[in-house]
Amino acid sequence: MRFRRWPRVSAFEDTPRKRAALARSQEAQRERLPLLRELIAERQPGADEVMAQRAERWAKAQQEERDRRAQLWRQARAQLAGYGDDLRRRLITLWKDATYPADPAYLLDLLRAIDTGRIDLERPPWRFSKTLDPRVTPDPQSFDEAFRCIGRRRVGGGYKTIEHDEMTFVSNLGDGVIFLISRVRLINPNESFYTHANHRIRDSHVGQSGHWIDIAVHGSCSDDELELIRRLAQEADNRPVVVRRAAARTNTAHSDHHGRS
């Protein structure tokens, strides 16, 4: 039976550091109520008395912990003895191979997990890891179904201009997590934002004839997934939408947008 020995009851050590810590603690108690300082000092026990009390409690606490662990070991052994010979041998072998600490509480929890079916005796979790099944949206029908907004900040602004929103969306399309950074941009680069340019990809009503949506994709995705993002975003907003990988330059995406127009 695999088990960890528990230290025997040891004597309490009365050290100068413990006495100095006690003195600081008692001084702090007196400082909290300076008007009652003398009264509090009279009621505070001496260092020798406190150390004697600690020594007595120390031995008692250690013995109680040893007795508690011994009782748990007896309970675990009695439960093991209640299984059939073949099953008991398999459980003991399984316990020897387990990665849990060699403590009785873990053994009892292992037996409980096996009895309730949470652990398969033939496939314990420390031998056979579970197959990860990531949560994905295989065929999203809308932008809201595929992406979730996780951030927004104000960008731009200046003389006679107003700040506009930069929004961050997250999804689990592709080989991993994908982040979208969405901004409103001007079709005519010589113009400025003279109107309030807050936008949400679903319900923006600002400058729809003079602005386009620039979406930068951070993360690994295929060309088909990139086109899916563009289609979902375009269905959610009636302004022109350009979707590009984050490595591409913004002015290139802007030129591509005019080339397609």
Same domain, 148 and 229: yes
Same domain, 151 and 254: yes
2: in domain: no
Continuous segment of H or E residues that includes residue 223: helix 223-236
Asked whether 195 and 206 are in contact (CB, 8 A), the reply is yes
Same domain, 91 and 158: no
Same domain, 80 and 20: yes
**What CA–CA distance (Å, rounded) separates 253 from 255?**
5
Domain count, the chain: 2
Paired with 197 in beta bridges are 164
67: in domain: yes
Same domain, 252 and 149: yes
129: in domain: no
pTM over 0.85: no
Which of 63, 96, 115 is at the close of a domain? 115
Domain that holds residue 59: 16-115
Question: Which residues, at least 6 apart from 172, have a Cβ–Cβ distance to it below 8 Å?
Answer: 134, 135, 136, 137, 178
3: in domain: no
107: in domain: yes
Same domain, 203 and 250: yes
Which of 68, 100, 115 is at the close of a domain? 115
Per-residue confidence in pLDDT tens, the chain, 261 aa? 788 888 888 889 999 999 999 999 999 999 999 999 999 999 999 999 999 999 999 999 999 999 999 999 999 999 999 998 889 999 999 999 888 999 999 999 999 999 998 888 888 888 876 665 656 666 788 888 888 888 888 776 555 556 677 889 988 776 678 888 988 877 765 555 444 444 444 444 444 447 788 899 988 888 888 888 898 989 988 888 899 988 655 444 444 444 444
224: in domain: yes
Same domain, 155 and 89: no
